[in-house]
Structure formats: structure tokens, C-alpha cells
Chains A and B, each alone.
Chain A
């Protein structure tokens, strides 16, 4: 048993309102640079829909992920090592920009520069690739909210598949539609096929937290990873010629802060925490014959942090005690393995994804309510889950490789939770038969409700910090923390702020963020040596140094007339004087 820790995420799809805040904040944080205009580390797809890039789930075309060869061994779907090397000169199945979209901006300048004329000037769209006029025909979420579904709905690879198996199962007529949102980031897989495809070995999995990163110095732009990733979550920066991907916001996670997408999520639907898993069993678990067994084999790889054997093995392999503790309190482990309501996205790709999803119950509840039923009544809900097969089969293709029973189990648990808790809220006697019907105890059902419905910040995000003993190593060599009053030095370096060697990003963020999140006063309050730091300004109050100080400042002695002659009138910043000359009170 080789115990390793893995940061994981669970998204509760019932709560996603499709606002794209996560995508926008992620883009602002990571990909608002030249060459990454089309890159969305986080994107939100409306399902049914084609996804981003278009039809990425059609692996017969894109050849992502793993498959079993004739001998039952795991091989990359796009071919073995030798075949990959022969494909270096022109990647056989790489998505082109047209499969994403051509990023654009608008010619805003015309609006103010246009010569006087009879027509109103317009800001024409300009391609960010060619700089020429362009016609906008697609974007990262062009089919948002089922836009164009009657014409293009059949292009969703999952709709295509479900329809092949049974006619009439998915309709796009207005009365018969359903939809939900699917936010997607990199899955930080246990068995990543992007990594396996990388000829340079530039993509790596961090030993400490399992985050999958691209070493920008080692990447040589062979672009095999883009084909290799079945989720198409590796992007090619066309300016630098390097692959880029979601970083799980590792600089934030290292200091115990949630990822940007989680922190800014309006619906608070994301959970972050640790999994412990047995790294020795990953390859075998990914190679089970029946794709429907993959969910179970993935669950078996996850280790129970409360098991003393696991804890002993983890300690022996250098996992710190506070990490072990965090693993025990992990919300993602609870949702995935204890309550078994979170499911991996497309387990059939055999990559062992570590971003999990609680499937949405809402389409069913909404439909029942619209039909005049009590949408939260247990009897109605349980019946409806079985009767309304449309979402169940669709969801099964997304989360369980087509196993509808598994999806039904999860949806029944979610329905039971609603019915059980509604009874309590309505002042009725708790009905223990409801949890029992889905194989849970009243206590565990209440715990699950706390985690999913109350979802306190500190319960949603249990993120152990990069370890204290290692904290010193995280900082630059020769830049000791105990220099001049310890870590506080980052605000007050000997020769003013930002003098000396560059401050490690994580450390600077940590103190700025800690200050901002814990203090009652505006962040700019403390001395910054008369410099304005707008980066640390949280919008409250006036940042120090932006305007002359009006309080506490010792007034200067009245200047001599000679000074006044030389410098002209001095304006008093305190505002209590009329400002022609300064008079000391």
C-alpha cells in the first residue's frame, strides 16, 4: 500500500445556476494573457449541449483517454509510445481553433474616433488571432441555456448515444426539454492520460497533493497532451507554444485558501478536501474490463482515513498528521465515499478523475411541481425518478458509464433527504423510514444535509496548508523569515516596500489576504511607507497614501515668508483652512 494524498473537488450540480462567475474569475486570475484568449480552465456547459470544445466527448473522433487492448492492458486510445512519436510532426487528431472558437474583441475606438456622419458608428468585432474583421459564429458557451437546441441538440454526443439506444428518449420540444449546468475544470486524475501522452515528461503530478501541472520550462510544444486528455482541459498557448492547464490554484491551496472558482462560486456548490488513495492500485483499478465497474474500482482505490492501518501507512510514508486530520474531515471524501452521492465525470475514460459531481435532482422536482404535484413529497419523487427516464439515462452516460441504477440510487438519496428534512422543518415527527428506504440512518442523513444544505465555509473547504516544517523551504533561499521582525517584513523591507529580493508570491498573498480577511479595518490602514498599494486595497475606505493624511499628522511649523515666496501657496490637506497659507493653530 502506497498512501498518497490528493486534493479533490465535489460540485453539487443542484445548486449551479449557470452564472459563469467561476469561469470569469478563473479567467481573470489565470488566462487573461495573449495566447490564452480562448483558454477556459473553468467553463460552464449547459447540458444537453455540445460542450467546450465542441463535441469533446466524442472519443471516437478525438481519441482521448485510455482503452484496453486485446490483452486487456491499459493503452492510450490515441496509440502507443512509438505511434505517438511518429505523430509528432503533425498531431493526427488535434482540435483546431475552429473547434473552440476564434476569440475576438470589438473596435471600440471607432465609437469615439469616427468622423462626423449621418450614421451612428458601430464597434465591429475584430479577431484576436488575425486582427481582421470577423464574424462571430461560436464561443465558449454559445449553446448556453439550450440556445439552438432544436437545431443543434442532436450534436451532443451523449444525446446521440442515448438516442441510438432508444428512440424518443430525448426531446427538444419546448415542453419536453430538461437542462442543467455542468461546470468543468481539470480533473487532476489519478491516472492522467495527458501526462502519459507527454513526450517530454513535462506534465507531472505533485507527490504532496496530487495536483497535475505542466512544467512550462520542460514543455516543448509537442501537443500530444491535448489529444490525450479526454476532457480537453489542456490548452495550447499559441503565443508561447506551450501547453497550459488548470492549476487547481495551487498558490492559494498551498496556504489553505480555496481555489478562485470555489471562492467566488455564487451558489457555493463546490467542496474542496483531501482524498487518500493507494497509488499502487491505480493502474489495475483503471484496467477493469467492464466500464460499468470503473466507478466501484475507483471507489476502492480511495482509502478510509479513519482506518488505523491506513493512518499508520500514511504516517510511515511521510504524510503529516494535520493532513491526515484534514483527510478525516474531508467533505469530498464524505460526499464521494461515505454518503456515495458524488460521482466521477466520465469514468469510462479510465483516467480516475478527482473532480466529482452530485447529479442534479432539480429537473425532476421542477417537472413534478409544474405538473401540479408536490415536488418534494417522497412518494412522488421516488416514483418520478423511475418514471422520468430521460435525465437518468443522460446522467448515467455522464457519470456512471451508463449504469442507470447507480444514478437512481443517488437521486433517491437526494430525494429522501429533501423529504426527510422537509418533514422536520414542517414540525412533523422525523420519519426514520425515509432514510432507511435509501439505506441510511437518520443521523447520517442529517449530517449529509448539514454538509450539503447548510454548507458552512469551513466545512466546504478543508484545505491543509503546505506543511509548516516545509514553510521555510517555500521561501527563497537566503531570505530568512526571522529577518527584522519575522514575516511582517514583507510590508516593511529595509529599503522600503518591494526592496530586496523578490517576495515569494505565496507568502505575499498569504499576508495580504490574511490581513484583508481578518481585520476590521480597511486593508490600507497600516503604514506602507507612503506608497499606495491598490492590490491590497479591498475597496473599503481610502487607501493610505492616495490622499494626503488628514489625521494625527504633526503639523509643520509655519513656513517662513521666504519659503512661501519660493514655493508658492501651500494647500493645507486638513481642509479646515481656506488654503491660501497654512496657519498653525
Chain B
């Protein structure tokens, strides 16, 4: 069971995440958007969205710090375990609560604002459930360690080594299996989130426009050689039941 959860599932998740993203990028550029609903409602969005997004960016940074950088390194530079722990709790806790608060505002807005709710797809609803669950379980692991205090679980001895070992294709399944249930469930929901990621609106995060900082203001581009309206759909990438598919058969 442990082998399946911590040895196989992560790779399945990564395969779907990468393959799905490539497929979506090639096949569904037109659907690759934030699908902003600011046109319908701006007041709550202006509060909730920045809180959520900056929160989640901080959370991502925290995960990087906690999972990728080995404990021996921080100890080596003289950062005591207590100091690290306090820091992680404080910064991580604030970021996590901010993220949760932000998403609660956004979900409230989505449900209560008529036009925004109308524009919410099933896909969005599933995504919101998984995303919120991942945040809640993540926050649970953080808060649990507050109450457990000194006796709390040190994930940098279990989850983090397992995470790093995944990249070496030598998954340290035993380490992960030793982590408490709260970490297990958070990791599983997280993997689920990344599995559905390429198929939801979350893909917009992959095209964060950092290149905006470096490009010239005015963009010149030559007329398309092939008019966009009739660009042939690549073989095998056509949705079912279209003219293109029918022609391929013929």
C-alpha cells in the first residue's frame, strides 16, 4: 500500500501533470486563460484575490524551503531547529491563513454574486473543492505542530527526504510512511490537485507573464502566413465528431 501511495502515485501524478500540460498547451491555447470574472464583480475580488494569490505564492516558497533544502544545510549555516520551526510556523501560518481567508472570500463571492455563479463551471467547482481541501489539510499540519509543541513531528526528517528522493528515482518510501496521517492526507490531496491541474483554469499559473518585464512595449508581428481561421488541426488532436476527424477517416 505504501509502495503504491508513495512510490507509484507520485510518478503517475507527474506524468499526468507534464503530459496533460503539454497536451493542453498544444491543443487548447484558446482555453488557456484566467477566465477572470472581474467584469461582473470587482469589490470583493479586489480584497480576496490578492490575499489569496500572494498567500499562495508565500506558501509555495515555504514548501520549497521546507522540502527541497535539507535540514543539514540549515543546521550548517547555524539555523537552530527551534528557530527554523518557529519561523516556519509564523510565516507559514500567516501565509496559510491568508490563503485560506482569501479563498473563502473568493468562494463566498462566487456563490453569492449571481453572474459569477452563473459563469462557474463544474470543472471550477471540483477544482475549488480540491484546492480548498489541500489548503485546509496543509494548514492542519502546521497548526497541529503548534499544539504538539516540542513533541511535534519533524517533517524535515520524513516528508522532505522522501520528496527529494523522488527526483532521484529512488523513492524513500519508508520515510514517508513514517509521517503522521495529517501529512499523508495533505500530500495525497496535493497530488490530486496537481493531477487535475492541467485540466482546470489553474493552468494560468504556468504562463505567469514574467517576460513582460523584459519585452519591448510595442510588439510588431508579420501577418500570418496561414490565416488563423483555417489553420488545419493537427492530426490526432481533433476533438471527437468534427469535420476534421471525419475527413481523416475518409
Contacts and interface: CB of A to CB of B under 8 A. Distances in A.
A282 B221 CA distance: 17
Main secondary structure of the interface of A (DSSP, over half): loop
By CB atoms of chain A within 10 A, which of B34, B46, B207, B243 has the most? B34
Interface residues of B, number: 47
A360 interface: no
Given A241-B35, A505-B229, A217 B42 contact: no
Interface string B138-170: 000000000000000000000000000000000
Interface string A202-230: 01111111000000111111110000000
B50 A89 contact: yes
Given A89-B54, A129-B118, A476-B232, A201 B33 contact: no
B207 A131 contact: no
A95 to B, nearest CB: 8
A111 interface: no
A216 to B, nearest CB: 6
Given A89-B49, A195-B217, A501-B232, A208 B38 contact: no
Contacts of A191: 218
Interface in A245-286: 251, 254, 282
A203 B219 contact: yes
B230 A206 contact: no
B230 A504 contact: yes
Given A200-B207, A204-B220, A96 B37 contact: no
Contact of B204 (A198, A208, A220, A282): A220
B212 A199 contact: yes
B38 A94 contact: yes
Given A85-B213, A132-B114, A201-B212, A206 B40 contact: no
A96 B43 CA distance: 10
Given A196-B217, A208-B222, A466-B223, A222 B41 contact: no
A222 B209 contact: yes
A90 interface: yes
A213 B42 CA distance: 27
B23 interface: no
Nearest to B203: A220
Contact of A90 (B42, B211, B217): B42
A217 B30 contact: yes
A575 interface: no
Interface string B70-98: 00000000000000000000000000000
Interface in A460-480: 466, 470, 473-474, 476-477
Nearest to B57: A89
Interface residues of A, number: 60
Contacts of B243: 502
A242 B33 CA distance: 7
B50 A94 contact: no
B215 interface: yes
B9 to A, nearest CB: 31
Contact of A505 (B210, B222, B223, B230): B230
B40 A219 contact: no
A240 interface: yes
A238 interface: yes
B200 to A, nearest CB: 13
18 contacts: A90-B45, A129-B118, A192-B218, A195-B218, A204-B220, A204-B221, A205-B220, A206-B223, A216-B30, A220-B32, A220-B33, A220-B34, A222-B34, A474-B227, A476-B226, A501-B232, A502-B232, A504-B229
Interface of B: 29-30, 32-42, 45-46, 49-50, 52-54, 114-115, 118-119, 204, 207, 209-213, 215, 217-223, 225-230, 232, 243
Given A90-B50, A216-B228, 7 more contacts: A81-B213, A88-B209, A129-B40, A201-B219, A220-B34, A241-B33, A476-B232
Q: Which 9 A-B pairs have the closest CB atoms?
A: A199-B209, A241-B35, A217-B29, A196-B217, A221-B33, A241-B33, A204-B221, A89-B53, A199-B212
